[in-house]
Structure 1
């Protein structure tokens, strides 16, 4: 069983314990998810994007090659807030503030932001989920870790609703969340996970990213997922070859 402690900030007033990898958007030449600027061409758009074409440990992946492993307990302490939301033209991104930390391999990683993809980028035995959230963390030494959270259609998601309520759908318009909340409010109670080594799922496709993919999806309503898709479109990079990699579980 993987233990996780999420400590709430002032906004949510919640303390709970449960049991238990990146969209990084660089400011370079324009890229998109279709046409001549789509994923198959990313590696040709800018020399800084060459890993999108040449990398051998790229994300996302189809998770279908597993190995049983005694994964160490996740050490997560989220004590901050979700602060600002923006449609940046590629995704809906929420910035975080305060101490939101996960320790993996003895290294503390601080939550920078989280964002969404419709449909999911990572797949499980070839199956997409309707939406995936990426919680992007960075260490003091510049290493990255992503916690990936899958969404399935079901009841309304209260945390997602707060994002949608205050989001300006116009590209580039940042909005402060009037109802700030702990980023951990998105997470399911049971947080078992898969782990693999990968990359950013957007240019520059940098490798060396630790991926933690939560096994248990959370629910969002059909209407919420439709609103997210209406703003983002199909913003999922196709799955990349596993090569010699395996997924730990």
Structure 2
């Protein structure tokens, strides 16, 4: 009888050490999983701090290659939690102005449904063309420009392999990396340059034969455009001498470009020729400056404009050659409004 009563208690007593012995073993089962997780997380190959330091070092080297590209992101490009990954969509959005000549909605420079007056109606992306308050180009009235001691533009250009395309709106050259300009302590990388006939900007109501627009981008995505006026007419002081004359001869740099324009629109040619954009800058680099926009859809604003006061000279034949491709590809002048235009004082 006593054995039957004590038997369950003794069974429980006997089971207790067994259960206690089991608990450490059960607690230790998850350990391999925890260790495995620890091994996976601990290396942290691309932390935010490391990414930030890498980009800062890249910029501080002054190599000119400072625009944030996919190469600045970790290999694989996923890393959804990193700051750079979060900013990737913004980088794509900012890249559009640099490739502003290519758009899904067809537009033209001539009157009609696709002309400048209707650019803003072609797409909601082009709303600034219609509603913007700081549009380009404008007429620069010298008498109303504020004369100021502006910092000189520092052109830090190097030669580049020629990459040229006729994109259906203009002739455009995509420039190689490593060429920059400095304006008020900000560095902009030269992305591309292209041409308009006649010049889009006017000085005292007059447009020159053509203009080259040099498009630059800061690493934050903001744009700066240098306008290099092109003329077939030298100043009135020009005169002939008995040993010859100083009439305008063909511009060698422009000849190189026109000789290599692709036969097919939309096709990029890389003929293995080196070019140097410094050859397209005038000796006198005084300038006008104002805040404006892109002159083609989507007409994005907050673009820094730097219009060189002195033109470069090209021959009439060179202008006629461009005319055979694009007789007119200049946007109409836009209201200046209350915008401030500054002009460098003659040095």
TM-score for both structures, normalised by structure 1: 0.88
Conserved? CA contact 1:95–1:113, under 8 Å: yes
Conserved? CA contact 1:26–1:203, under 8 Å: no
- Correspondence for 2:154: 75
Alignment partner of 1:179 out of 273, 281, 286:
273
Which is strand-richer, 1 or 2?
1
- Correspondence for 2:109: 33
Alignment partner of 2:128 out of 45, 51, 65:
51
Conserved? CA contact 2:161–2:272, under 8 Å: no
Inter-CA distance 23–43: structure 2 relative to 1 (3 Å threshold): same
The SS at the match of 1:37 is: coil
Inter-CA distance 150–82: structure 2 relative to 1 (3 Å threshold): farther
Conserved? CA contact 1:169–1:231, under 8 Å: no
Q: Deviations over 1:175-223 (max 9, x none)?
A: 1143311111111111111111100000000000000000110111111
Q: 2-side partners of 1:209 and 1:78: how far apart?
A: 21
Conserved? CA contact 1:82–1:94, under 8 Å: no
Q: 1-side partners of 2:134 and 2:302: how far apart?
A: 8
Inter-CA distance 247–82: structure 2 relative to 1 (3 Å threshold): farther
Alignment partner of 2:300 out of 189, 206, 217:
206
Is 2:186 aligned against 1:107? Answer: yes
Q: 1-side partners of 2:271 and 2:294: how far apart?
A: 26
Structure with larger Rg:
2
After TM superposition, give the deviation of residue 46 of structure 1 in Å.
Answer: 0.4
After TM superposition, give the deviation of residue 81 of structure 1 in Å.
Answer: 1.3
Which is helix-richer, 1 or 2?
2
Q: 2-side partners of 1:158 and 1:23: how far apart?
A: 27
After TM superposition, give the deviation of residue 23 of structure 1 in Å.
Answer: 8.8
Conserved? CA contact 1:166–1:178, under 8 Å: no
Is 2:291 aligned against 1:197? Answer: yes
Q: 1-side partners of 2:151 and 2:108: how far apart?
A: 37
- Correspondence for 1:84: 163
- Tell me, which stretches of 5 or more residues in structure 2 are unaligned? 1-97, 233-247
Over aligned residue pairs, what C-alpha RMSD do you find? 1.4
- Correspondence for 1:19: none
- Correspondence for 1:126: 205
Q: 1-side partners of 2:105 and 2:326: how far apart?
A: 19
After superposing the two structures, state which structure 1 stretch, 181-190 or 85-94, moved more.
181-190
Runs of 4+ in 1 over 3 A off after TM superposition: none
- Correspondence for 1:96: 175
TM-score for both structures, normalised by structure 2: 0.64
For CA contacts below 8 A with separation 6 or more, give which structure has more relative contact order.
Answer: 1
Q: 2-side partners of 1:155 and 1:23: how far apart?
A: 33
Alignment partner of 2:229 out of 143, 146, 150:
150
Inter-CA distance 82–41: structure 2 relative to 1 (3 Å threshold): farther
Matched residue pairs, number?
A: 228
Q: 1-side partners of 2:316 and 2:135: how far apart?
A: 30
- Tell me, which stretches of 5 or more residues in structure 1 are unaligned? 1-21
- Correspondence for 2:16: none
